[in-house]
Chains A and B, each alone.
Chain A
Amino acid sequence: MKRRFLPAPASGNATAAALSVAAALMLIPANLLPVLSTETTGENRDDTIFSGAMQLWQHNLAPIAIIVFAASIAIPVAKLVGLTWLLLATRRGPARRPLVLTRIYNLLDGIGRWSMLDVFLAAFLTGLIEFGEFATVRARAGIVAFAAAVILTVLATEAFDPRTIWNSQPDNRPTPTTP
């Protein structure tokens, strides 16, 4: 059996569905509230996840902006879309095109951790930049909602049982592995 952090649900992937909905709800405040505030002499600035990535872009740091955008916006959204697809496809019995769904599942399982980038970034900057009125960076409420959303998507992927993609598929006997 797949080892779970959460107890197995009574039927199907109900826990994964519930966690996905919770993650989707958490992404709303995560993207609307500021995640970081920067105070420098004569200038105060609140940044949301999106405006933080845009600021990097405007400062001619396009590759870094793309990394932040991918980790903080694209991956969480892709995870939720992918999970929704998996949950809908496995809702009633065996899924069509199980190989494609398995690849999606493996991809979601692998990329989810990179979303934590913004959380580490906020923690690091808050700890390092404390120069009173000259320069101070503080983490704001949005980052808490964002971290919650990331954790919920990780737990949702873990709660999803990938065997439901293959249930009732033929060929469930021991076979030699092929390289």
Chain B
Amino acid sequence: MSGPPGSLECPVCGLRHLAVGLAPGEKARCTRCETVLARGRRLGPEAPFVFALSGLILAVPACLLPFISAGKFGDQRVSLLFTGVGALWDNGMRALSMLVLFCGGVVPVGLLLALAVLLAPAWRDPSGIRRRELTRLATFLERWSIPEVQVLAVLVALFKLGKLVEVRIGPGFWCYCGMTLLLLLALRGFEISHLPGGKANPAADAPP
């Protein structure tokens, strides 16, 4: 299903539209099913790349620094981002631990990396094949990347623990929150689906 150049296909209903320029903050909706197809950028064209790169930098301390520390009767326990993954693994719930590892850590970082490469101003890919493959990967990763849910889960846990133990938020958690915010900002300022090979641009599925 290939459309003429400069056309966008609604990923929900399949109607083809001619791509037009948008003013900052303006939304383009499908004329048939009203799904939002694109948003006019409020920031410069390189902002999503900067967000993705900054998110990647924050991912390093988010993984290495203390996430949350808990104390009970003088005994202190420091938890890192992936401590829960190890505990579930030891508990015999290996598939579940891999799910948590992927959705909360590997996939968001992989998505930031894919976005940073796709958006890098210096990246050249004359044939477009690698760009298409990377777009497909980013489309898949976007669905399974849920660091914002992990942030909410930690906040709920802090309330839930209440009087059971004394908890202290560590720098790793703040870095993780920053990484999550930057990932969401990068995705907000840039539509993966519009790249060749993305959902709204399947015209590029055809071999070059």
Q: Chain A residues in contact with chain B, CB under 8 A?
A: 1-3, 5, 38, 40, 56, 59, 61, 64, 67-68, 71, 98-99, 102-103, 105-106, 113-114, 116-131, 134-135, 138-139, 143-144, 147, 151, 154, 158, 162-163, 165-166, 169, 171-179
Q: B123 interface residue, CB < 8 Å from A?
A: no
Q: Chain A residues near B93 (CB, 8 Å)? A: 139, 143-144
Q: Give the distance in Å from the alpha carbon of A143 to the alpha carbon of B140 in the complex.
A: 24
User: Can you pick out 12 interface pairs between chain A and chain B where the beta carbons lie within 8 Å of each other?
Assistant: A3-B140, A3-B202, A64-B159, A106-B12, A117-B152, A125-B157, A127-B84, A131-B165, A171-B32, A177-B28, A177-B29, A179-B26
Residue-wise, chain B 33-72 has the 8 Å CB interface mask toward A (1 for contact) of 1110110000000000000000000000000000010101
Which of B17, B100, B159 is close to A120, meaning CB atoms less than 8 Å apart? Answer: B100
Known: A102-B34, A113-B146, A166-B33. A139 touches B12 (CB 8 A): no
Contact A40 B88 (CB under 8 A): no
Q: Which of B1-9, B109-117, B181-189 is near enough to bind chain A? A: B1-9
Known: A123-B97, A177-B37. A129 touches B161 (CB 8 A): yes
Q: B104 interface residue, CB < 8 Å from A?
A: yes
Contact B86 A120 (CB under 8 A): no
Chain B residue nearest to A176 (CB atoms) is: B18
Known: A98-B33, A131-B72, A147-B99. A163 touches B13 (CB 8 A): yes
Q: Chain B residues in contact with chain A, CB under 8 A?
A: 1, 3-4, 7-8, 11-20, 22-23, 26-35, 37-38, 68, 70, 72-73, 75, 77, 79, 83-88, 91, 93, 95-97, 99-100, 103-104, 136, 139-140, 143, 146, 149-150, 152-154, 156-157, 159-162, 164-165, 167, 199, 202, 205
Which of B22, B88, B143 is close to A154, meaning CB atoms less than 8 Å apart? Answer: B143
Which of A120, A171, A172, A174 is close to B153, meaning CB atoms less than 8 Å apart? Answer: A120
